Amino acid sequence: QSALTQPRSVSGSPGQSVTLSCTGTKSDVDSHNSVSWYQQHPGNAPKLVIYDVTKRPSGVPDRFSGSKSGNTASLTISGLQAEDEADYYCCSYAGNYDWVFGGGTKLTVL
């Protein structure tokens, strides 16, 4: 199973909105609404911020939102804040009793 494709880096200024993309295939992202997103600060374990494409776990600000179109999922962060600077990973059910992660995007808040 090949990793999902994410841009290596994205940047934005405080208060702006940024959108991170995650491209898979017909077998994973396109076929299942089981896309999740994880935020990882340096030295820490990943934290779930979006699941089932659009759902937010309790405690995650509503500035975080998710969507999907075909084989591409997206994470949008609005009202960008300094603490949003982190690595972000998408993950999808891969269709064969397995999960597949993306290569990760480094978000820089300018």
Partner 1 sequence: QVTLKESGPVLVRPTETLTLTCSVSGFSLSNGGMGVSWIRQPPGKALEWLAHIFSNDEKSYNTSVKTRLSISKDTYKSQVVLSMTNMDPVDTGTYYCARLLGYKYGDPFEYWGPGILVTVSS
**What's at 24, amino acid-wise?**
G
SS3 70: coil
Token digits of residue 37 = 């997103």
Among 5, 21, 25, 34, binds partner 1 (CB under 8 A): 34
**Toward partner 1, which CB reaches closer, 13 or 58?**
58
Q: Angle at Cα 27 formed by Cα 41 and Cα 35, nearest 5°? A: 30
**Toward partner 1, which CB reaches closer, 52 or 83?**
52
Among 12, 64, 104, 109, binds partner 1 (CB under 8 A): 104
Among 18, 65, 89, 107, binds partner 1 (CB under 8 A): 89
Binding residues with partner 1: total (CB under 8 A): 26
Core vs surface per residue 66-88: b (16+ CB within 10 A) or e: bebeebbbbbebeebeeebbbbb
10: contact with partner 1 by CB under 8 A:
no
The answer to whether 28 and 101 have CB atoms below 8 angstroms apart is no
Binding residues for partner 1, rule: CB under 8 A, are 1, 3, 32, 34, 36, 38, 45-48, 51-52, 57, 89, 91-93, 96-104
